[in-house]
Every structure is written in C-alpha cells, then in structure tokens.
A and B are shown apart, each in its own frame.
Chain A
Amino acid sequence: MAKILVFAEQRDGKVSGVAREAVSVAAGLAGPLAADVEVLALGGAGLADAAADLARFGAAAVSVGEHDALAEYNPDGYAGVVVDHVRKGDYAAILFGATTLGKDLAPRVAATLDVPLATDVTGIEAEGGKLSIVRPVYAGKAFATVEIEARPVIASLRPNVFPAVESAAEGAVSTFAPQVDPTSWKVRVVERRQASAGALDVSEATIIVSGGRGMKDPSHWGLLEGLRDALGHGTALGASRAVVDAGWRPHGEQVGQTGKTVAPKLYFAVGISGAVQHLAGMRTAKTIVAINRDADAPIFNVADYGIVGDLFEVVPRLTEEIAALRADS
C-alpha cells in the first residue's frame, strides 16, 4: 500500500505543533489517496517517547530515527536520511511543516528526489486521486491553486492553519538507527543563540501582539511585553516594517511582505496604520484587534474589533483586564 510521509520536526527533543497538524492533514488524505500515514521523526536518543504522541493523530506508523549526530538539525544529515527513507517505500505524498527548518529541508529533499515542491501551503484536498493545493502568493495578497504532476507530491504546510485532530486508532511506534556520516556534511552549526530565554517566534505563535510607529519609541515596548505576558503561553511579539526599518525591533519580529506571513488565532495591531504590505502578512489571522489613534487608519478596515484611542491608555487597561480574567479562570 502506498504511504503518505509526514516529516515531524523536533527541537530540544520536543515535537513541533505543526507536526500534529500535518499528521491530521495526512490522515484526511489517506482515504482518497488509498494510502497509510507514516511519520518520520529524526533526533537524538530518547526522541521516540516524544514522537509517540503523533500516533494519536491518525498515523498508522511512527518511525523514529535516533542518532546523536541528528539531535540538532543539520541540513545535509537530515536531507540524506529523509531521502534514503523515501527511496525504500512507495510514497504518494510527503508533508513538511513550513517552519524555518521545513523551508530549509524540503527543497533539498525535493531536488534530490527530482520532484517539485509546494511551500507554505494553506489548503490541500484530494480530487479524483490528485491533490489540489492552495498556497498564498504575494505574501497573502492572492492565493494560488496549484497542481503537481509528479510523485510523490511534496508540500510544506503553514503552521497554525490546519487543525490537529485526534484519532481513535493508535499507530505503532518504532525506532531505527539512521546511517549518517557527519564527515561528509558541508554545513555545520557552530553555535545557537536564543534571542531571549523562552521567547516564542512570531510564526509559531497562536496570539501575536504587534507594535508599529504609534508606539513612538522603542523604550515603550514594555507595554506590549506586559500585554504578551498577560495573554500567556503561545503569545509572541510582532512588529511593523516601519519600526524594524527604524531599528527599534529585530527583523525576526517583522510581519508583512518583507517579513513573516502569519495566521494566529488572535492578532493585536497596536499603533499600526495598516500598510498594504503589512495587511498581506496578517490578514488570515482568525481575529484581528486594532488599537490606533487615527480612526481613518486602514487597519480598521480589517480589524474585527477596533478601539480608536491613545494606545498608552488603552493597552495598560487591556493588560489589566486580561490579567484579571485569566486570574479568575
């Protein structure tokens, strides 16, 4: 029987959220493609325990490759193991998460297997045995429906778009020892630096608090950090292009066409007017809140809820009320 492979990303031995989403997507495609879902996770010793969780989302099998040299991502090492694995079976499709890692790894695998790749996919459906794939282009100003005429179909899925759905059946977990030769790798990670301890990236967040020019000065970001902390786990800080260009915030936080395109459940645009290129990057957020002095700011056209007013009065009150709400619940 053909299989759909889901590459499950791990960091520090923890499986990423988009892996659960990708397994759920694969489970939905399994029937129409007449295929079983298999998960492939790569990492250091002990990863099997964490990866076993993915068996609850509709995977018939979870294959965990454990090797000390794969504990942290290496593009050459990981691509080699994924390609070797795919060549041993009959795969109708391979799904990755469209994270920094997935965007680095999937093109290498696709080029080696000589098949095209659809990246950052936000919709995927089986139609008559073929896959119809939807992906944003122009940073979300338009959506392209694409078809790949090759097998396996390779796609990377945008995080936070697809629901993770638990399944009644529980798949089998197995481990294997991948063949790797680190001396042949052309790329080596020398050092990893965390931006700040535990800070969540804007592309992984379920809630984003973004600030723009209206914040007036980088020293005012404590206000947004306070709101982020009140909203709790899963919240990240974002920024408009203007404040990144001004050097107030790092580029990693930038939301928009020359930054990241995000799809959180909740997006706060604080002191952001809403330039076309910013709106492109966040308009697929489920709920958008805008706080801005200027009632005519374009951000209010897309905001589900807007408050017209001074953010320096609104944000502290908002932080207080959300903190109180969370303390009650």
Chain B
Amino acid sequence: MKIIVCGGNKEADFVIREFKKGGHRIAVINGNEIIAKQLSENNGLDVILSDPTKIYSYTDSNVYNYDLIVSLLENDEDNFVVCKIAKQLFNVKKAICTVQNPDNVAIFKALGVDSPISASYLLTERIKGESDVESLIKTLSMENEKIMITEIKIKNTFAIVGKTLKEVTFPHECNVCYIYRDSTMIIPRGDTKIEGEDTVVIASTPNDQEDIVSYLKRED
C-alpha cells in the first residue's frame, strides 16, 4: 500500500514504524522542523517539511493515487482539510484522521472522511462495553484483545452452583483459571465443586466471552 502520514509527533513515529514493518510505501508530511527531523532520523526516510493543510505540499511530493492518508494534526478542522485535499484533489482512496471533539466523528463521516478517530469517543464506547456486563463481572483483555480474562461472582441462585467442573459443559472452549473462595485461591480440578459466593476466573476468546458469561448466569 502507498500511505501518506501527515502531522503528529510520537503517534506519527509509531504509525510510520508500524507501516514500515508492513513493507508499505510511506510519504511523510510534517510542518514542524524539529519533529520532521526526528521522524526522518528515527525511521530512515525523507520527511517533507511543509504545512499539510496546503495544497502545494501534495503537488510537490507527488502523492497522487495513494491508498491511504493518515492525518494526525492537532486541530479537527485542519485534519478535515487534509483529508478533503487528499481525497478530492489527489485521488487518495481512504482517509483516516484523529479528532479531538467526539461529536466530530459523526460529522466527519457524513462529510466524507472514512475513519475519524477520537480517543474520548473510543474510551466512552469502551466504558459502555465494560458496563454492559453487570458490575459483578470484571474483564481484562490480554495479547491485544485476543484473550479475555473474565472474573465472575457466582450467586447462590445460579444453576451452576453445586456442580463439579467435570459436570459443567461450557458452550465454548475456555479454561477456569482459579476459583477464589473465603480468601483462598483454589486451583480447580475436574472434581472441584462450584459454590455460591465463589469468584470464578475464566480465560476465553473475546468472541466466546458473552456466551460463557450468560451460560454461567443461567438460573434454571
């Protein structure tokens, strides 16, 4: 892929490094002399020292028909203009940018920016996701969200109470890592019985997590 990275500092450095690892062709435009120099030195590539919101920056660097532009400027409206220049005038296929104002995610999308990314928007979505499962369930993701660790407090009313692990047929593959009972940790075996008020900790894939949790919570 041919990618343009505009603006940014540390995040630009990270993005460039990752793209470079992936073997993509990268054009970097940065308006700050010190940052431009650092990006160039860190990544061993030429950085175009120019204001990314100016049309001539793109004409000069000859970035027609690139596949992707990533705009990491501080101001939302500057990022908007960068994405618009790239898509409208230089035929760049896809535009991604950061936005400060979470409300701009929807507005930018409506105005043709493919992926506006807002840290606070993502954070809120994440919090909503976390609170979907009741407060007695805590989750932790590991290995870039490929593994979910779920901690669930067993109520006395759950159907699973009194069963041994051998008798429990989980809907998906998962592993009961430990059971916490009366301030002690129990490493479970097949004949370990689940009791009310236990805290059970399970490792699974994120896709299976919801099914496993609702299976544990069944009361009939």
Chains A and B come from one and the same complex: no
Binding site for B on A (CB under 8 A): none
